[in-house]
Amino acid sequence: MDNLGGKTDLRKPGCFTRAQIDRLKEVVLKSGEDPSLVSDLEGCGPIARLEEAFARVAGTRFALALSSGTAAIHSALLAAGVGYGDEVIVTPYSWPQSISPVLFTGAIPVFADIDPLTFNIDPESVSKLLSPKTHAIIPVHLFGHMADMDRLMDMAVDCGAALISDGAHALGAALNGKPVGAWGDAVCFSLGRGKLISSGEGGILATSNPKIYEKAVCLTQHEDRAKRIWPASHRPEIFSLNYRLHPLAAILAQADLDSIRDVLSNRQRVFDGFWEGLGRQQFLSPQASLEGERPAAYGIPLTAAINMNRENLVWAAQAKRIPLRCGPVSNPLHLRLGKAVGPRIPFHRTHLPGSCPKAEERCEKQELLVLSALDMDGLSPEAAYLMGKGIREELEAHPGNYLN
């Protein structure tokens, strides 16, 4: 990508930022004999500071630092009381870790189809799958675009289901003036590589529901932390998981907080630069936004026209060193369950081919990705513009190569 306009110095993809390195040096040199930097059982120090700061960013009352975004979803489901035989409505168009926590609660994933324009779970499809067994709905805010939370919240309230979002891509996004964390019962974030706030590994459960927060603390933390929120006479006996975030990871994540506006701004400029270079043409279109939505740019997905040979374009673009590829989902999640390794999965009719036709068609014929969020952090808007321009020039020069 160097020959397409250069990289930005904002972040080196996949590496520590200068602010993170400086912060680690400062903390370790000043407090090198502090045992809470090695293992924090009480949720104090760096963990508490990160949780307080993250809650402000997410727009919630509480934030619970955890070992991964997957752990955050699992914890939120357990805290909401999801268990064996319950049904949880999920999207087929995401990564397996968006639904694997459902499997490990013993619940049944029920797949609603996607809106082909936003790629997110379609409320119309959700409404047809609601049943007395529905205990939770998990929308994924894919590529920084929010699901239709207004409609999903109404459905969740009407059927008494928890609304737990996977917001791994969407920190910084908002809908109708409300930040992503302000919607639903809980929102789960990742602190993994490429995320807006990163500690390399880690996750956050953000919620304004004190019952979900308190139960999640008991389910995921050391007993010494649980004692701080439950009086001895009312403390439940819970055999908890160890999903704690390491204190040094919390320090890394908090050091990233100061740069999130700059990172978001650069990602948006990279996004805009690519689409300016690509321009209007008949073959490729962007992900759609909801009315009143402010997305947080997270990668550049594209939709190929239904009559397009996308593989030919991928080969031509890669020959020009433009990182276009088919994917990233490639195969809808409901069609992968037969090969899944893990707990036994009770059958549901939405596990069959044809049950989510829009997601299946997108994966088979239409999905493309040119840049991940990690790629965007290492790229200038000018380089993104040249990528888009290179694809447009190829399409204009040889349109017949890309029509089925």
- 86 and 120, same structural domain? yes
Compute the distance between CA of residue 349 and CA of residue 83 in angstroms, rounded to an integer. Answer: 20
Contact present, 92 and 356 (Cβ < 8 Å): yes
Q: How sure is the predictor about 32, in pLDDT bands with cuts at 50, 70 and 90?
A: low
DSSP per residue over 286-333, as a string?
Answer: PPPPPTTEE----SEEEEE-TTB-HHHHHHHHHHTT---EE-SS-S-G
pLDDT at 5: 40
pLDDT at 42: 75
Q: How sure is the predictor about 33, in pLDDT bands with cuts at 50, 70 and 90?
A: low
Specify the length of the chain in residues: 404
- 225 and 326, same structural domain? no
Largest pairwise CA distance in the chain:
76
- 22 and 132, same structural domain? yes
115-144 residue pLDDT tens: 999 999 999 999 999 999 999 999 999 999
- 128 and 58, same structural domain? yes
Establish if 12 belongs to a structural domain.
Answer: no
73-96 residue pLDDT tens: 999 999 999 999 999 999 999 999
Span of 2-6, 26-30, 57-61, 335-339 with lowest mean pLDDT: 2-6
Check pLDDT > 70 for residue 296: yes
Check pLDDT > 50 for residue 241: yes
Span of 13-22, 50-59, 253-262 with lowest mean pLDDT: 13-22
- 144 and 100, same structural domain? yes
- 273 and 189, same structural domain? no
Average pLDDT over residues 368-393: 95
Establish if 328 belongs to a structural domain.
Answer: yes
- 264 and 227, same structural domain? no
Establish if 13 belongs to a structural domain.
Answer: no
For residue 262 the two structure tokens come to 């700059």
- 272 and 172, same structural domain? no
Check pLDDT > 90 for residue 162: yes
Average pLDDT over residues 321-338: 95
Domain boundary among 257, 274, 294: 257
Q: How sure is the predictor about 200, in pLDDT bands with cuts at 50, 70 and 90?
A: confident
Q: How sure is the predictor about 382, in pLDDT bands with cuts at 50, 70 and 90?
A: very high
Domain with residue 266: its CATH number is 3.90.1150.10
Enumerate the β-bridge partners of residue 108. 87
- 249 and 128, same structural domain? yes
94-113 residue pLDDT tens: 999 999 999 999 999 999 99
Domain that holds residue 37: 18-257
- 89 and 174, same structural domain? yes
Tokens 């104090």 locate to 44
Check pLDDT > 60 for residue 8: no
Which secondary-structure segment (H or E) carries 49? Answer: helix 45-58
pLDDT at 68: 96
pLDDT at 13: 67
- 263 and 224, same structural domain? no
pLDDT at 4: 39
Check pLDDT > 90 for residue 224: no
pLDDT at 235: 66
- Using DSSP, state whether 195 is helix, strand or coil: coil
Reference 122, options 372, 364, 362; nearest CA is 362
Establish if 306 belongs to a structural domain.
Answer: yes
Average pLDDT over residues 146-173: 97
Span of 12-21, 51-60, 252-261, 305-314 with lowest mean pLDDT: 12-21
Contact present, 299 and 327 (Cβ < 8 Å): no
Reference 59, options 154, 150, 196, 174; nearest CA is 174
Domain boundary among 187, 222, 257: 257
242-293 residue pLDDT tens: 999 998 899 999 988 888 999 999 999 999 999 999 999 999 999 999 999 9
Domain with residue 212: its CATH number is 3.40.640.10
- 312 and 277, same structural domain? yes
User: Domain tally for the chain?
Assistant: 2
Give me the chain's average pLDDT, please.
91
Enumerate the β-bridge partners of residue 244. 66
When comparing pLDDT for 380 and 236, which is higher? 380
